[in-house]
Copies of this chain bind each other. A is one copy, B any other.
Amino acid sequence: MKDHLIKLLETCIENSSDEDLGALSFVLEGIQNKITEKNTTYIDGLLHMERKLDENSCEITVPNNPILYNNLNILHGGITATVLDTTMGTLANYHLPEGFGAVTNQLNIHYIAPGTGDKIRCRAEIVHKGSKTMVISGEAFRSDGKKIAYATGTFFTIQK
């Protein structure tokens, strides 16, 4: 397996443009984030997530990168959705007792502006905290402060 991986990377490198080399670096560092336990999931690692969390809000910041672009060369709406959902779910989980987890039941996103610039910052707040469901809102901003998306979601409490 290890030789196969080195061989695979060498083949990739041989045929790589500069952008491809940047992409390889971004994903390898991403997996490393998980291996070194800087992040707890591969997705969090791959997206290079940095998070801040307290009782009232959660913030996750990710660097923008060509690897996250759609075919129009702007941040893919699904990536914005992934970071928003993670930010909102992290806040929901923070409010649950041990042994319980929050799962997304419904997610609605308004896309407002193209996700360009260096970084995307998402911020979640609680709209409603019930015993079985929570409603959470989330906003995404780019480096110049412009809001690029607004989301709300319903989260269900489940026993892990």
Contacts and interface: CB of A to CB of B under 8 A. Distances in A.
A53 interface: no
A82 interface: yes
A85 B149 CA distance: 15
A46 B67 contact: yes
A130 B103 contact: no
Interface in A13-27: 13, 15-16, 20-21, 23-25, 27
Interface string A68-112: 111110001111011111100100010000000101111111111
A109 B111 contact: no
A135 B107 contact: no
B41 A31 contact: no
Interface in A99-143: 101, 103-112, 127-128, 130, 133, 135, 137
Interface of A: 1-2, 4-6, 8-13, 15-16, 20-21, 23-25, 27-32, 34-36, 40-43, 46, 66-72, 76-79, 81-86, 89, 93, 101, 103-112, 127-128, 130, 133, 135, 137, 147, 150, 152, 154, 160
